[in-house]
């Protein structure tokens, strides 16, 4: 007897650890990075870079270089300026932000060590580098502005005399009455926090191949970049070409972390030279160039204080942030954003009403800084959480209890913070509860106390955080930046029943393609293996912003969901026409057209698609199947959709050596709907590793003359696997109502909170010695100094 065939039930990949298709390809070495692409007739470029932080070029002689073997072309800043117009990186919503015109290659003056002053094009990169050594440049060195603390002093030279001073941007925020609150407070804690300048170290360096076809006046740029449409607009504008004649292709990207979302002068030069020479030109930054020309970030000094009442309730914050950004604001997102975020985010997780803040953003003769993963967050979180732990310590309160008292209650949303941020719905208390359980907080405290009695000094540090994700047009668009605030997804039903998804958000190695495939497969009703995802080609994908500010899943995922729903509806209409049934009674499950009520299989999707493509003659005259759809989505309900989370770090400090061992790290995070738990956890894990880099290792060192002292990976210390603690994750899911998918970003919360958690853990371990550190990274020497040992 045959068993009855069970009907198919709806299935979903949302919330599943679905392996991503591109992981196998990348592991097999079949990635298509820019450096893997080769074009006929291509030439290689290498740059002559200033050895001085600030110098006038008094003589530049290319004649010997031009004679060198394999050399095709050499040029100065003036030669490149003939084809690439300069830019000034300001946006109107940062009132008063100023910067100077920046050229692709310096004209007559270099303003940081590493700025390009000439370029050589040759048959091979080695020949180009040989010829670089033959370029004769004489410099008149100029005083370098390196210390941000004195950048605004009257005696300090002004880097751009036309601007009048070295102040790029300033901002003040005052909710009023803050002075009185501090004056009447039971306790005021204050401290100064310093943050080492660092950079995002990508496995794949910046890379570009530009190909100009004069016959069609067409420029094609293969670029390791997060925002291909933004770059297309910029290339068109500064090469004076119609945007439609520019194509930007960004296939596989080997990590970006915000590094690859900016305009780099050397990349602009390559595009210009390709147009000038009418030949493909390629260039990859080598590691030395990456360290001195990729954007830097995070050089801040924050003086801050916090007022608390006798019960331990936070009353007010007062902070003053000083940050140095190099000689130019970086195009087109500007270098005002990081400091602005620090002002916005300080105190962010806590319920208080009084806040006063001031920000100064100054120019220096160092590598330009701009947005790097978790822009501003690690600074704001460290300042806030550092003061929170200090207050708890002074009051003799447990730091977890202090947070429970002060975190914005989970039932108090929507909520507007003292700095004016609008929160839809956060879950600080649910996350705190889950974290304390996950780490068995009381047991850990008991262990810490027991070991301390034996002379083993361990510390526990907590750090609550909020993260900016799913930005609206308020991030850049309102200021005049031509950076798309929306994204689109096109779906195409193939005759086989497979679906091709073409999305504007980009893959940086983090799993965007896998995430899109999961959303599409779930919402259309097909196996995830039947979805093929295409990203990163401005000739092909819908116009969109790309991947930054933790927006790919929240914005790109929602566009994919809406497109999927539309495609499914079209497929069911087609099936209804074929089967002569009402489409409303049909569903698509596991690539089968089924009866919605029973799940009874009526027709394989492959058959529906075949008829739709090849035999529309069999369909009613008035029915036209629509088998490709596009949907766009821009988040418009909130300026940003905030996420929240909390981290904990457990460390052991050796008071004799000042060495810190990271024993364990926990994080509970709420990024709304989780599409792929494994990918979310890996985002958090990688983010925490980068945050640990900031806390423990990474700092770009300059001498007083602006010479970069640690431009190799032997000297600039990035976090490595052996030093990473085990990390444990937990999640709370509060979907955003601003989209149907409900997903928020998860890309930056790890980086945002890890430095603060580690700092608090170290200071907890140092507490018996009456010692405290607040300058990142927390090197052995800084601990030894705090301990009075050196």
Partner 1 sequence: MKAPPFAYRRAENLTAACALLDAHGGNARILAGGQSLIPTLNLRLSQPELLIDISQIADLRGIRVGANEVVIGALTRHVDIERSADLARLCPTLVEAARHIAHPAIRNRGTIGGSIALADPAAEWPAAALAFNMTFTAASSKGERTLSATGFFKGLYETALEPGEVLKSIHVPLPAAGGKAAFGELTRRSGDYAIAGAFVNANLSGGRLSGVRIAFFGVATQPVLAVGAMQALEGTGGDAAALSAARARLEADLDPIADLYNSRATKLHLSGVLLGRLVAKLFA
Joined tokens for residue 673? 């709907």
CA distance 516 to 528: 10
| Look-up of token digits 């990142």 | 776
**Residues forming beta bridges with residue 467, ordered by sequence position:** 643
Residue 291 in tokens = 């360290």
* 146 lines the binding site for partner 1 (CB under 8 A): no
- Name residues whose C-beta falls within 8 Å of residue 383's C-beta, 6 or more positions apart in sequence: 193, 302, 304, 319, 342, 346
Binding mask 659-698 for partner 1 (x = CB under 8 A): x------------------------------------xx-
Please, what is the minimum distance in Å from the beta carbon of residue 696 to partner 1? Answer: 8
Quick check: 92 binds partner 1 (CB under 8 A)? no
* Cα distance between residue 544 and residue 563, in whole Å: 15
Q: Considering only residues 717, 735, 740, 775, which one is a binding residue for partner 1 as defined by CB under 8 A?
A: 717
Among 412, 715, 726, 768, which residue sits at the site for partner 1 (rule: CB under 8 A)? 715
576/693 with CB nearer partner 1:
693
Decide if residue 82 touches partner 1 (CB under 8 A).
Answer: no
**Site residues (CB under 8 A) for partner 1, limited to 636-665:** 656-659
Place of tokens 């690690």: 378
Distances from the Cα of 772 to the Cα of 197, 317, 400, 648, 743, angstroms: 21, 21, 19, 18, 39
User: Is residue 723 a contact point for partner 1 (CB under 8 A)?
Assistant: yes
Task: Assess 51 for contact with partner 1 (CB under 8 A).
Answer: no
| CA distance linking residue 284 with residue 44, whole number of Å | 9
Whichever of 611 and 692 has its CB closer to partner 1, that residue is 692
Q: Does 780 bind partner 1 (CB under 8 A)?
A: yes
**Rounded to the nearest whole angstrom, what is the least distance from the CB of residue 662 to partner 1 in the complex?**
12
Q: Answer left, alpha or beta for residue 230, where phi above 0 means left and psi between -120 and 50 means alpha.
A: alpha
Which is nearer to partner 1, 231 or 281 (by Cβ)? 281
Q: Which residue has the tokens 């929170």?
A: 388
The minimum distance between CB 417 and partner 1, in angstroms, equals: 37
Number of residues that bind partner 1 (CB under 8 A): 31
Name the residue nearer to partner 1 (CB basis): 437 or 661.
Answer: 661
Kind plus residue range of the DSSP H or E element containing 518: helix 512-524
Q: Which of residues 438-497 bind partner 1 (CB under 8 A)?
A: none
The answer to whether 287 contacts partner 1 (rule: CB under 8 A) is: yes
The phi and psi torsions of 285 (rounded to 5 degrees) equal: -70, 130
Q: Is 70 in the site for partner 1 (CB under 8 A)?
A: no
Residue of 1, 3, 183, 714 interacting with partner 1 (CB under 8 A): 714
Q: Judged by CB under 8 A, does residue 213 bind partner 1? A: no
Provide the β-strand partners of residue 489: 503, 631
Give Cα separations from 188 to 176, 253, 463, 764 (angstroms): 18, 47, 20, 19
User: What's the start-to-end Cα distance of the chain, in Å?
Assistant: 86
Q: How far is the CB of 69 from partner 1 (least distance, A)?
A: 9
Task: Count how many Cα atoms sit within 13 Å of the Cα of residue 684 in the half-sphere of its side chain.
Answer: 29
The yes or no reply on residue 710 touching partner 1 (CB under 8 A) is yes
789 lines the binding site for partner 1 (CB under 8 A):
yes
> What is the rounded distance in angstroms from the CA atom of residue 551 to the CA atom of residue 111?
34
Encoded one letter per residue, x for contact with partner 1 by CB under 8 A and - for no contact, window 93-132 reads --------------------------------xx--xx--
Contact track, partner 1, 595-614, x by CB under 8 A: --------------------
Nearest to 321 by CA among 282, 365, 362: 362
From the list 82, 138, 149, 288, which residue makes contact with partner 1 (rule: CB under 8 A)?
288
Element (H, E) at 752: helix 749-766
Q: In whole angstroms, give the CA distance from residue 200 to residue 488.
A: 28
Residue 108: count other Cβ atoms within 10 Å of its Cβ. 13
The footprint of partner 1 (CB under 8 A) covers 125-126, 129-130, 133, 286-288, 656-659, 696-697, 701, 709-710, 712, 714-715, 717, 719-720, 722-723, 779-781, 784, 789-790
């Amino acid at each position: 007897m045959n068993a009855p065939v069970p009907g198919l039930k709806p299935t979903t990949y949302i919330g599943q650890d679905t392996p991503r298709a591109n992981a196998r390809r990348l592991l097999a070495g079949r990635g298509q990075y820019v450096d893997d692409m080769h074009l006929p007739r291509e030439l290689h470029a290498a740059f002559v870079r200033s050895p001085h932080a600030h110098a006038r070029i008094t003589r530049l002689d290319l004649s010997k270089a031009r004679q060198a073997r394999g050399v095709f072309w050499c040029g100065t800043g003036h030669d490149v300026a003939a084809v690439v117009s300069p830019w000034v990186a300001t946006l109107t919503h940062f009132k008063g932000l100023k910067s100077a015109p920046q050229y692709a290659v310096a004209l007559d003056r270099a303003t940081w060590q590493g700025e390009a002053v000439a370029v050589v094009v040759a048959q091979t990169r080695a020949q180009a580098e040989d010829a670089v050594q033959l370029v004769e440049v004489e410099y008149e060195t100029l005083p370098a502005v390196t210390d941000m603390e004195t950048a605004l002093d009257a005696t300090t030279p002004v880097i751009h005399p036309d601007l009048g001073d070295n102040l790029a941007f300033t901002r003040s925020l005052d909710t009023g009455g803050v002075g009185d609150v501090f004056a009447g407070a039971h306790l005021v804690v204050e401290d100064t926090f310093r943050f080492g300048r660092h950079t995002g170290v990508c496995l794949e360096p910046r890379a570009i191949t530009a190909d100009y076809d004069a016959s069609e006046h067409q420029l094609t740029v293969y670029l390791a970049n997060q925002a291909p449409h933004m770059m297309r607009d910029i290339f068109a504008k500064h090469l004076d070409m119609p945007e439609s004649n520019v194509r930007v292709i960004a296939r596989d990207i080997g990590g970006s972390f915000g590094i690859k979302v900016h305009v780099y002068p050397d990349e602009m030069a390559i595009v210009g030279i390709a147009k000038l020479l009418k030949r493909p030109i390629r260039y990859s930054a080598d590691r030395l160039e990456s360290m001195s020309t990729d954007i830097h970030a995070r050089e801040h000094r924050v003086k801050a204080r916090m007022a608390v009442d006798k019960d331990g309730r936070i009353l007010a914050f007062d902070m003053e942030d000083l940050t140095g950004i190099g000689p130019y604001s970086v195009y087109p997102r500007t270098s005002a954003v990081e400091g602005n975020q620090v002002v916005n985010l300080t105190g962010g997780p806590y319920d208080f009403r009084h806040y006063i803040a001031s920000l100064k953003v100054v120019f220096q003769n160092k590598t330009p800084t701009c947005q790097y993963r978790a822009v501003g967050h690690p600074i704001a979180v460290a300042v806030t959480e550092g003061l929170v732990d200090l207050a708890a310590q002074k009051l003799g309160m447990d730091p977890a209890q202090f947070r429970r008292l002060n975190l914005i209650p989970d039932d108090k949303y929507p909520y507007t913070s003292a700095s004016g941020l609008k929160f839809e719905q956060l879950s600080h208390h649910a996350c705190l509860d889950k974290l304390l359980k996950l780490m068995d907080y009381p047991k850990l405290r008991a262990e810490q106390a027991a070991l301390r009695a034996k002379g083993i000094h361990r510390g526990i540090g907590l750090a609550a955080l909020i993260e900016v994700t799913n930005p609206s047009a308020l991030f850049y668009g309102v200021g005049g930046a031509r950076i798309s605030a929306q994204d689109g997804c096109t779906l195409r039903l193939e005759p086989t029943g497979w679906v091709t998804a073409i999305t504007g958000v980009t893959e940086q190695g983090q799993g965007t393609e896998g995430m899109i495939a999961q959303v599409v497969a779930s919402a259309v009703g097909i196996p995830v293996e039947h979805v093929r995802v295409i990203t990163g080609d401005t000739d092909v994908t819908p116009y969109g912003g790309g991947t930054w500010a933790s927006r790919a899943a929240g914005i790109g995922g929602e566009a994919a969901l809406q497109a999927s729903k539309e495609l499914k509806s079209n497929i069911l209409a087609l099936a209804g026409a074929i089967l002569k049934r009402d489409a409303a009674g049909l569903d698509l499950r596991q690539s089968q057209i089924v009866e919605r009520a029973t799940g009874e299989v009526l027709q394989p999707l492959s058959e529906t698609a075949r008829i739709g493509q090849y035999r529309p003659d069999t369909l009613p005259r008035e029915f036209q199947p629509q088998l490709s759809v596009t949907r766009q989505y821009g988040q418009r309900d909130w300026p940003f959709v905030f996420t929240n989370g909390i981290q904990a770090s457990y460390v052991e400090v050796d008071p004799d050596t000042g060495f810190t061992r990271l024993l364990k790290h926990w994080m509970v995070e709420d990024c709304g709907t989780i599409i792929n738990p494994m990918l979310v956890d890996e985002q958090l894990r990688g983010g925490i590793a980068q945050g640990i880099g900031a806390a423990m290792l990474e700092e770009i060192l300059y001498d007083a003359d602006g010479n970069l002292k640690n431009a190799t990976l032997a000297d600039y210390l990035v976090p490595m696997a052996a030093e990473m603690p085990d990390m444990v994750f937990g999640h709370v899911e509060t979907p955003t109502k601003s989209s149907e998918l409900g997903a928020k970003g998860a890309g930056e919360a790890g980086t945002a909170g890890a430095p603060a958690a580690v700092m608090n853990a170290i200071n907890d371990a140092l507490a018996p010695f009456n010692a405290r550190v607040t300058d990142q990274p927390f090197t052995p020497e800084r601990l030894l100094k705090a301990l009075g040992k050196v």
